[in-house]
Amino acid sequence: MQIYWRLLSFAKPIEKYAIPYVIFTILAVVFNTLNLALLAPLLSTLFKEETAAVIKPESWVDIMDYFSYYVYTIQQTWGAYEALKWVCLFIFLSVLLSNTFRYISQRIIENLRIYTLLNLRKTVFNHVMDLHVGYFNQQRKGNIIAKITSDVQVVQYSVTSTLQVLFKEPFQLVAYLFILFAISYKLTLFAMLVIPVSAFVISKIVKRLKAQAKEAQERFGLMVSYLDEALSGIKIIKAFNATERIKNRFHQENITFSDLGRKMSYRQQLGSPVSELLGVVMVIIIVLYGGSLVIDNQSELSASAFITYIAIFSQIMRPAKAITESFSTIHSGIAAGERVLELIDEKPLIKDQEEAIVINSLKNGIALKEVSFSYGHEKILKNISMVIPRGFTVALVGPSGGGKSTLMDLIPRFIDPQEGSVSFDGIDIRNISSDSLRSLIGIVNQESILFHDTIANNIAFGNPDASMEEIQLAAKIANAQDFILQTPKGFESNIGDRGTKLSGGQKQRLCIARAVLKNPPILLLDEATSALDTESEFLVQDALNKLMKNRTTLVIAHRLSTIQNADLILVLDQGRIIEQGTHYELLVQEGLYSNLIDKQKFTQA
């Protein structure tokens, strides 16, 4: 229940919905119960039961006696048919009011459900976006998507619907019992002995639902992961003739998920016929026991009162059944809730201090002091120390897996070092506002990250207020304007999901144009020209060289032209800086850098 109450906290301020819901639900329950209670005077009038003079009861607790008194008074004054008309009128008004109040209460609970979903999904998504980049390197994206979509949906439904059941149905149960006691307390005491039997049987049926629900949600997350991977890598899958293998992998996971869903449905659906059967058995027992009392004149119950009693008692199983079955819904909701809360409880290792420093420029430079970083047990960076003076271009080179990209991720604070520090102008970046820090940085990655939007909006992603003239100028500098103008709608052309309508070189040039438009004082270029052909690379490199002037630039490149112009080259191998210097200084050392050049690890341009 601790998880349940924590999930319910996302409905705050819950009193905005709870107070009116309670009021209208109570009114709906009262009039719904009154509908059945009015059967007694209706049947009494129809059967023309002979009754002695009825005395007005002293307390409203004797509600059935009140009905008898007023019906008797009307019969004596205006006749039986007039009494029948009044009883029918009251039944109509009672049904009208009970349904009106029930509708209003359902509207309120629906608003609560939507509000809870909105708040929970917003909280989860915001928290995910605040997590450090390293977290996503260790998680399946599909599993995260499943938690934000399907799991959140299950949570909001189960929490609000069970809240509705756990309040309304117990109150309805109490209202029915009140009327039953008013009709015959002896018969009701006997009936209450058999009610727990039904609840016990149904609770046994739904006992294992929580474990099954959690496993089903985890399987769904895995299935979404397979789907995401298949759609993202569709070209590779087809190129390696792996279509059937991928189909079978997804199909097998789909079968497992479906089997779990089938087992859960069987268990949930078993509750309804079992409870209905138990309800009929209980009604039969009451009919036999109570009927014998009426027939043998051992009870004060009239025939009309006994029929009313049976009608109300047959309804008492509905709220009892709803309460019991709601526990199966709670089990599913808590299972989904645990997965969602796991995501919310994932600590964002990177977050601003309460009074983070705001910086507007880089005056001196960037320094890394004895920085170390690990993914799990694998140490990627080992005691890295380096300085990037303001306005310098520093190139990172070395074998694949040496730690170049990880080192670059430290600068915009995508990750934090586990040891050592990164500082801007002598200020530890953990004390600097992330927003102000990243506003100074422009990034072009090896992988072209674009969005399903127009060309203009992709270029202006980091500067959404840019004019069309500024966007066009950035595209021209990045050598992208020519191919843009050849598209059907020019800058307003949609590039498709992840830029699927563009070639690799075209996508990369849009990413470079995006960095150009932002016009940042710090540039991070991770293989920025790797996807370009030689001609395009030459033109873009020339534009980047102009852009890099008087800017602080950290670049990872396999193009020799990029490295030759760097003010400082750092050679990384197995997480350590093993060589540093200019291009010619490193060639003279005849170390790893010179060896990479000799083996043509860098492309000539």
Q: Of the candidates 323, 345, 367, which is a domain's last residue?
A: 345
Judgement on whether residues 65 and 151 belong to the same structural domain of the protein: yes
The predicted model gives 558-574 an average pLDDT of: 82
Judgement on whether residues 268 and 416 belong to the same structural domain of the protein: no
Q: At 443, phi and psi to the nearest 5?
A: -130, 135
pLDDT over threshold 80, residue 461:
yes
pLDDT over threshold 90, residue 423:
yes
Does 486 fall in a domain?
Answer: no
Q: At 207, phi and psi to the nearest 5?
A: -60, -40
Report the C-alpha gap between 355 and 422 in whole angstroms: 18
> Predicted confidence band at 400 (pLDDT cuts at 50, 70, 90)?
confident
Planar angle of CA 44, 50, 51, nearest 5 degrees: 90
pLDDT over threshold 80, residue 484:
yes
Q: What is the pLDDT of residue 40?
A: 67
Q: What is the DSSP string of 343-357?
A: HHHS--SS---TTPB
The predicted model gives 454-483 an average pLDDT of: 88
Residues 539/479, Cβ–Cβ less than 8 Å:
yes
Report the C-alpha gap between 132 and 26 in whole angstroms: 48
Q: Which of 437, 410, 425 is nearest to 349 (CA)?
A: 410
**Best-predicted range by mean pLDDT (115-119, 205-209, 424-428):** 424-428
Q: Of the candidates 308, 323, 345, which is a domain's last residue?
A: 345
Between 339 and 374, the higher pLDDT residue: 374
Judgement on whether residues 399 and 262 belong to the same structural domain of the protein: no
pLDDT more than 70, % of the chain: 73
CATH number, domain containing residue 421: 3.40.50.300
pLDDT over threshold 80, residue 432:
yes
Judgement on whether residues 204 and 75 belong to the same structural domain of the protein: yes
- Establish whether the linkage from the previous residue to 412 is cis, with ω within 30° of 0: no
pLDDT over threshold 50, residue 380:
yes
pLDDT over threshold 50, residue 605:
no
- Coil, strand, or helix at residue 440? coil
Q: What is the pLDDT of residue 420?
A: 92
> Predicted confidence band at 59 (pLDDT cuts at 50, 70, 90)?
low
Q: What is the pLDDT of residue 370?
A: 92
Judgement on whether residues 115 and 219 belong to the same structural domain of the protein: yes
pLDDT tens readout for residues 165-203: 767 778 888 888 887 887 777 777 777 766 666 666 666
Q: What is the pLDDT of residue 297?
A: 65
pLDDT over threshold 80, residue 446:
no
Record the tokens describing residue 297, joined without a space. 């004149």
Report the C-alpha gap between 596 and 551 in whole angstroms: 28
576's enclosing H/E stretch is strand 576-581
Between 506 and 469, the higher pLDDT residue: 469
Residues contacting residue 599 through CB under 8 Å, at least 6 positions apart: none
Judgement on whether residues 285 and 408 belong to the same structural domain of the protein: no
Planar angle of CA 495, 500, 501, nearest 5 degrees: 55
The predicted model gives 262-288 an average pLDDT of: 71
> Predicted confidence band at 275 (pLDDT cuts at 50, 70, 90)?
low
Q: Are strands 393-397 and 552-556 parallel, antiparallel or unpaired?
A: parallel
Q: What is the pLDDT of residue 534?
A: 65
Q: What is the pLDDT of residue 369?
A: 93
Report the C-alpha gap between 122 and 333 in whole angstroms: 18
| Alpha carbon distances (Å) from 305 to 36, 65, 68 | 11, 11, 10
pLDDT over threshold 80, residue 570:
yes
How many domains in the chain?
2
**Residue 537: burial class (beta carbons within 10 Å; 0-12, 13-18, 19+):** buried
pLDDT over threshold 80, residue 422:
yes
| Ramachandran sector of residue 376 (left: φ over 0; alpha: ψ -120 to 50; beta: rest) | left
The predicted model gives 43-50 an average pLDDT of: 58
> Predicted confidence band at 52 (pLDDT cuts at 50, 70, 90)?
very low
pLDDT over threshold 50, residue 53:
no
Judgement on whether residues 122 and 23 belong to the same structural domain of the protein: yes
The predicted model gives 340-357 an average pLDDT of: 71
End-to-end CA distance of the chain: 66
Does 142 fall in a domain?
Answer: yes
Record the tokens describing residue 134, joined without a space. 């390293």
Residues 507/473, Cβ–Cβ less than 8 Å:
no
The predicted model gives 472-496 an average pLDDT of: 88
pLDDT tens readout for residues 131-155: 777 677 667 777 777 777 777 777 7
| Alpha carbon distances (Å) from 188 to 194, 384, 435 | 10, 80, 68
Q: What is the pLDDT of residue 324?
A: 62
Judgement on whether residues 314 and 368 belong to the same structural domain of the protein: no
Does 48 fall in a domain?
Answer: yes
Q: At 59, phi and psi to the nearest 5?
A: -130, 145
Does 339 fall in a domain?
Answer: yes
Does 167 fall in a domain?
Answer: yes
> Predicted confidence band at 577 (pLDDT cuts at 50, 70, 90)?
very high
Does 554 fall in a domain?
Answer: no
Q: What is the DSSP string of 371-427?
A: EEEEETTEEEEEEEEEEEETT-EEEEE-STTSSHHHHHHHTTTSS--SEEEEEETTE
Judgement on whether residues 379 and 279 belong to the same structural domain of the protein: no
Report the C-alpha gap between 166 and 144 in whole angstroms: 31
Between 211 and 518, the higher pLDDT residue: 518
Does 421 fall in a domain?
Answer: yes
pLDDT tens readout for residues 530-543: 656 666 667 667 76
Report the C-alpha gap between 529 and 605 in whole angstroms: 11
Residues paired with residue 424 on neighbouring β-strands, in sequence order: 366, 427
Q: What is the pLDDT of residue 73?
A: 72
Judgement on whether residues 430 and 404 belong to the same structural domain of the protein: yes
Judgement on whether residues 238 and 378 belong to the same structural domain of the protein: no
Judgement on whether residues 261 and 388 belong to the same structural domain of the protein: no
Identify the domain containing residue 53 by its residue range. Answer: 2-345
Between 343 and 594, the higher pLDDT residue: 594
Does 453 fall in a domain?
Answer: no
pLDDT over threshold 70, residue 589:
yes
Q: Which of 460, 449, 469 is nearest to 517 (CA)?
A: 460
Q: Of the candidates 317, 345, 373, which is a domain's last residue?
A: 345
Q: Which of 90, 86, 47, 53 is nearest to 69 (CA)?
A: 53
Q: What is the pLDDT of residue 41?
A: 66
CATH number, domain containing residue 119: 1.20.1560.10
Q: What is the pLDDT of residue 576?
A: 92
365-375: strand order across its sheet? 378-389, 365-375, 419-424, 427-428
Mean pLDDT of the chain: 77
